Amino acid sequence: MISEARILSEIQLAASRVGARLWRNQVGKYELADGRWLSSGLCVGSSDLIGMTQDGRFLAVEVKRPGGTATPEQRAFVSLVRAMGGVAGVCHSVEEFLALLA
């Protein structure tokens, strides 16, 4: 089975080929060696890939391996981006990503 990391990389490459730009948004909380906590990413539920379409619209792509499903927080983020005029979706393949852009 193809890994989520590989699908993510392939989607980033496909985005570049069609004039879109996507950057990795890694969301998480990490404990530092001194005991402090570091939060990363935009917000809980924000998509794996964040960027813009060729025409400048906000673009958010939640990447899942085949059969994977988005969490309620991830679905809410995708819905919010769409409601505000951006392009967003859950993609299991490059083909789904390209359909999202179409």
List, for residues 38-89, the tens digit of each pLDDT value. 999 999 999 999 999 999 999 999 999 999 999 999 999 999 999 999 999 9
pLDDT of residue 20: 97
pLDDT of residue 16: 96
Q: How many CB atoms lie within 10 A of CB 61?
A: 27
List, for residues 6-48, the tens digit of each pLDDT value. 999 999 999 999 999 999 999 999 999 999 999 999 999 999 9
CATH number reported for the structural domain that contains residue 15 in this entry: 3.40.1350.10
Q: State the residue range of the domain holding 40.
A: 4-101
pLDDT of residue 1: 80
Three-class SS of residue 100? helix
Q: How far is CA 49 from CA 35, 40, 44, 60, 82, in A?
A: 29, 14, 14, 6, 15
Model-level pTM? 0.90
Domains in the chain, number: 1
